[in-house]
Amino acid sequence: MATPFDEPSTLPYALPPFREVRLEHYRPAFDAGMAEQRAEVEAIAASDETPTFENTLVALERSGQLLARVSHVFFTLSSADSTPELHDLEAEVSPLLAAHRDAITLDSRLYDRIATVRSTLDERTDGAALSDEDRRLVERTYTEMTLAGAGLDDAGKERLTAINQELSTLTTTFERNLLEDTNDLAVHVTAEDELAGLDDGAKSAAAGAAADRGLDGWLITLPLYTGHPWLASLTNRDLRERIMRASLSRGRRGNEHDNREVLLRIVRLRAERAELLGFPNHAAVVTADETAKTPEAVDGLLSSLVPAAAANADDERAVRSRVVGFDVEAWDWAFATEILRGEQFAADSSALRPYFEADRVLHDGVFHAAAELYGLSFTERDDLHGYNDEVRVFEVTSEDGEPVGLYLLDLYTRDGKRGGAWMNPVVEQSALFGTLPVVVNNLNVAKPAAGSPTLLIQDEVETLFHEFGHALHGLIARTTYPRFSGTNVERDFVEFPSQVNEMWVSWPSVLANYAKHHETGEPLPPELVLGLSDSAGFNEGFSTTEYLAAALLDQAWHRLSAADAAAVTSVEDFERSALEAAGIAVQAVPPRYSSTYFAHTFSGGYDAGYYGYIWSEVLDADTVEWFRDNGGLSRSAGARFASRLLGVGGAKDPLEAYRDFRGRDAEVGPLLRRRGLE
Ligand SMILES: [Zn+2]
């Protein structure tokens, strides 16, 4: 069967022909793509030529193009625009893909050839000298294959493959249970007075969500994390409690979407696999391939932050309880915080919304900052299409008018889109293939009623800048090999560029440019500007604590030996004792994610890696200080960051790239100051 994936796309920037893709195209394309790559890899592994960099490493990089084309499209849709049929297909192909990858990664002949190239790097006879990126390709490929088990004997490999396949199915199940339980748990409201405090935009979004499901009244859909953006404004305490209890109960209600047994099985298999590879636990395997290198280094940073964060959160709770006149519970926290914010900064966050019209934030904020820093221009291309009519396509060009890539933006929540916000590449920049990047940003902004403007809350503005930071990492990439392109860096480094980009949200010249009243065009009043910039540090005890609790939970699950993992039978008991042992069980501050809906760690590829956000925030805070000292929003500062850091991607050791950019290693002081932890 011919499919739109058979040949590279002929659309500009090799944008996939989304409109030609049908459900029935995927499976044949996956099958053909896997068969093609198997044949390509077999030719490398079985070759009787002396192994060289070209005939082994570069040949391996060149393999699997058809599979890459179909995978990029399929997984973009299965995250952002899924259907039950697509979910079924994902469950069907995920174990096949895992087995396919394992067959390559665990091929002893291939591993031996790479080891030979690696050991003869300095006495090469096959032509031109290798670049630093070439050498890193050898080293990284070798390390990844070693950690994946390429050095195991046949029995070990057989067990490993079985584990990987089962894990692939389990993580898909976890993700699907979570999506369905989250949909089911949306809170239905039929009496309008219960929604007191909610602004008209939010109300119409809730009415729209209800109508979409054929319901009367209003439907409050849940985001991925424990809280909810509307908890800050809803005055009805019972409704707030209902929303948070719904959120907390996800994946642990004893129904068909229960994730407890699923995650226990995931934890046990990961621990078993670690021992097979000669490591004490899964976290040790994961960090060996990160900039952190060991779980002890991770624990060193996290636990050094816990006492001050927990103490600050306790103090904040006391202050908030005083403000509202009763003991603040988890569902009251955001509400009390808003009142306090209003008292301290003469503004609550709903006063900001009319100044955050989405399109203006995008063009006059996000794109404006990228123009000032990196000389990029963005032109909407209505002639190009994404995978859904709500996806917008922008062509990105440099200040010389040279093509840079495509930026796709998918802003709104819809059924079938997973929670949270993210960036993913659809085409990776690579000099090897001569490709320019195509990247997608997804957010979950509630869609306003037809004819109403999309007004963002401050948190969503920050998320847009954050995700766009990932997009910039992908767009500015200038590497030879796609495996090093843009965000293809160590997981505990990948959040660094995106976090840096958040600094422009409240940068005075950027804020003044985008924050204008959507009806009158008036600039943000000075007292609101003050509230926005002074609010850095505000509520940080809570934010740091809910984050650290989740990060420590993730570490706790993945620092279990196989024997200890087998002995855990209750998810709830384990969570409670892990949080208490870490000193982070703070009253009214639940973890940002609890285990049964912790997609990052059980299905999202952040297993034993959720610590990476604060690990890379050390670099972020240190970099923000550098920008402040070096001209701020300027083309020269941007050029240095782009050439020495963003463009390098994973082609260099990230901490070396950082040193090259900053002139020294990162220091933790700026992070402690920012989060009030000194
Ligand atoms: Zn991110």
Q: What is the pLDDT of residue 123?
A: 63
**Tens digit of each residue's pLDDT (9 = 90 or more) over 258-316:** 999 999 999 999 999 999 999 999 999 999 999 999 999 999 999 999 999 999 999 99
Host H or E run for residue 424: strand 422-427
422 CA from centroid of ligand 1 (Å):
6
Q: What is the pLDDT of residue 124?
A: 58
Token pair 């944008």: residue: 15
Backbone phi and psi for residue 633, each to the nearest 5 degrees, phi listed first: -75, 80
620 CA from centroid of ligand 1 (Å):
12
171 CA from centroid of ligand 1 (Å):
20
224 CA from centroid of ligand 1 (Å):
14
Host H or E run for residue 352: none
Q: What is the pLDDT of residue 128?
A: 64
Neighbouring C-beta atoms of residue 621, cutoff 10 Å = 22
467 CA from centroid of ligand 1 (Å):
6
Length of the chain, in residues: 678
Nearest Cα to Cα of residue 219 among 245, 248, 239: 239
Q: Are 547 and 287 in contact (CB under 8 A)?
A: no
532 CA from centroid of ligand 1 (Å):
22
Q: Is 467 designated active site?
A: yes
* DSSP per-residue string spanning 475-515: HS---SSGGGSTT-S-TTTTHHHHHHHGGGGG-HHHHHHH-
At a CB cut-off of 8 Å and minimum separation 6, what does 592 contact?
225, 226, 227, 546, 547, 549, 550
Host H or E run for residue 525: none
**Tens digit of each residue's pLDDT (9 = 90 or more) over 441-492:** 999 998 998 899 999 988 899 999 999 999 999 999 999 999 999 999 999 9
Please report which confidence band the pLDDT of residue 28 belongs to, taking 50, 70 and 90 as the band edges. very high
Please report which confidence band the pLDDT of residue 344 belongs to, taking 50, 70 and 90 as the band edges. confident
Q: Are 282 and 274 in contact (CB under 8 A)?
A: yes
**Tens digit of each residue's pLDDT (9 = 90 or more) over 554-565:** 999 999 999 999
Give me 383's structure tokens. Answer: 């002639």
> If you average pLDDT over residues 566-580, what whole number do you get?
97
Beta strands at 422-427 and 187-189: parallel, antiparallel or unpaired: unpaired
466 CA from centroid of ligand 1 (Å):
6
Q: Are 466 and 421 in contact (CB under 8 A)?
A: yes
75 CA from centroid of ligand 1 (Å):
18
The pLDDT of residue 349 is above 70 = no
The pLDDT of residue 249 is above 90 = yes
The catalytically annotated residue of 61, 428, 467, 546 is 467
Percent of the residues in the chain that have a pLDDT greater than 70, as a whole number: 97
Mean pLDDT, the chain, rounded, equals 94
Give the number of C-alpha atoms closer than 13 A to the C-alpha of residue 78, restricted to the C-beta side: 22
595 CA from centroid of ligand 1 (Å):
20
> If you average pLDDT over residues 598-609, what whole number do you get?
94
601 CA from centroid of ligand 1 (Å):
14
Percent of the residues in the chain that have a pLDDT greater than 90, as a whole number: 87
Q: For the purposes of burial, counting CB atoms within 10 Å of the CB of 561, is it exposed (0-12), middle (13-18) or buried (19 or more)?
A: middle
Give me 183's structure tokens. Answer: 């949909």
Q: What is the pLDDT of residue 537?
A: 76
Kindly tell me the sign of the dihedral angle through the C-alpha atoms of 366, 371, 376, 378. Answer: positive
Alpha carbon distance, N-terminus to C-terminus of the chain: 63
**Which residues surround the ion ligand 1 when the cut-off is CB under 5 Å?**
495, 498
Q: Which amino acid is at 186?
A: A
Give me 116's structure tokens. Answer: 């030979």
Nearest Cα to Cα of residue 361 among 322, 411, 396: 411
12 CA from centroid of ligand 1 (Å):
27
Token pair 């002929």: residue: 10
Q: Are 173 and 262 in contact (CB under 8 A)?
A: yes
Q: What is the pLDDT of residue 126?
A: 57
**Tens digit of each residue's pLDDT (9 = 90 or more) over 614-654:** 999 999 999 999 999 999 999 999 999 999 999 999 999 99
Backbone phi and psi for residue 338, each to the nearest 5 degrees, phi listed first: -65, -40
Give me 206's structure tokens. Answer: 């809730």
